[in-house]
Structure 1
Amino acid sequence: MSVLWENIVITMISFAILYWLLSKFAFGKLFAIMEQRRQLVLSQLEEAKQTREQAGVYVEEQKEALKQARQEAFEIIEQSRQSSSKQAKELLEQAKQDASRVKNEAVRDIESERMKAVEALRGEIGAFSVNIASKLIKREVESNPAEQEELVGQYLKEVGSKS
């Protein structure tokens, strides 16, 4: 196999002409399109980076909002517990006061009824005593009138000497 130098020279000249034609008509446009594509890819990468950063900030904001909402819910639940506990204590205290008041009223009513019963008994006992005494005196007066006159006289003297 022999190398033909003419073919190599012709091929090199053809390649040089083709390169010159491509650089004059195609490479400029091709490089411009490639540069536009490179700029587009860079801008899209920058937008993706910004979007990712914004998404990260948004996720953090959402986490903080969720944390705050949970805290508020916990506070509301705690306030409800305290309020119900306070109401239960108030109701219990009110019930104790009512029971104490009812008990005191009952004790007063019982004492009042006891005093009425005692007064009624005293009145009855007094009436019975007077009745018994009058019967005894009547019997005494009827059985011994001279002695009774002497007692009445003595009583009148005592009353007269006191006044």
Structure 2
Amino acid sequence: MELLAAEGELNPLLPHTVEIIVGLIAFALLLWILARTALPQFERTYAERTDKIEGGLKRAEEAQAEAAALKQKYQDQLAGARDEAARIRDDARAEGQQIKAELRAEAEEEASRIRAQAEQQVVAQREAAQRSLRGEIGGLSAELAERILGSELADPSRRSATVDSFLSDLDGMAPAGRATAESGAR
């Protein structure tokens, strides 16, 4: 009896069968609505995010590869620029050496020309001095001869012949006198 009485009373721990059936139908209906509307949205969002992430990774890899290619290109250009700079430096050195050699040759040529001019001037001055001295010596020798002889050498041809013979004698003595003077100077 007590069992019967217990059966007739509601047990708060056990739900009614109608509530269970209505709850299952409502849950199935909610599941079906979610599967039709929200689940495709979730799938689409998931696929988009996956594509974005994979695309971002792919773009990052492409950017990294492009950056590596650019880096290699710049390194090649830098190496080329270094080679070009070295070549330019070498060319400049060679050109500098060539210019230096040309300037040295020009300077030596100029020095030789100046030396030759100086020698020509010395020779011309020596000849002028010799001519001047010959004239003076000639006049002095004529005076000396007049004093020694006690007569005038009035005849210009005779005077000229006397001066020329005297100068010839002096020229003959000059090499011996020069050799003695040069050895004494040394």
TM bucket by the smaller chain?
Answer: 0.5 to 0.7
Q: Structure 1 length normalisation: TM-score?
A: 0.64
Between Structure 1 and Structure 2, the one with more helix by share is: 1
State how far apart, in whole Å, the 2-side matches of 1:76 and 1:67 are: 14
Residue 42 (str. 1) matches residue 47 (str. 2): yes
1:110 Cα deviation after fit = 1.0
Q: Deviation per CA, 1:131-163, whole angstroms, max 9, x where unpaired?
A: 5467279739x75x9xxxxxx8xxxxxxxxxxx
Secondary structure in 1 aligned to 2:125?
Answer: helix
- Correspondence list, 1:6-155, <5 A: 15-23=20-28, 25-32=29-36, 33-129=38-134, 132=137, 135=141, 139=145, 143=149
Amino acid across the alignment from 2:92: Q
Q: What is the aligned-residue RMSD (CA, Å)?
A: 3.6
Highest relative contact order (Cα 8 Å, sep 6+), 1 or 2?
Answer: 2
Residues 57-106 of structure 1, C-alpha deviations (whole Å, 9 max, x = no match): 11111221122123223322332332233223323322321222122111
CA drift of 1:17 comes to 4.3
Structure 2: any 5+ residue segments left out of the alignment? 1-10, 152-157, 159-186
In structure 2, how many angstroms separate the alpha carbons of the residues matched to 1:41 and 1:106?
Answer: 94
* Equivalent-residue separation in structure 2 for 1:84 and 1:29 (angstroms): 81
- d(CA) in 2 for partners of 1:30 and 1:81? 74
- Show structure 1 runs of 5+ residues with no match: 1-6, 146-151, 153-163
Identity of matched residues, %: 9
Distance 2:136 2:41 in 1: 138
> Hey, what does 1:158 align to over in structure 2?
none
Instruction: Measure the CA separation in 2 of the matches of 1:28 and 1:131.
Output: 149
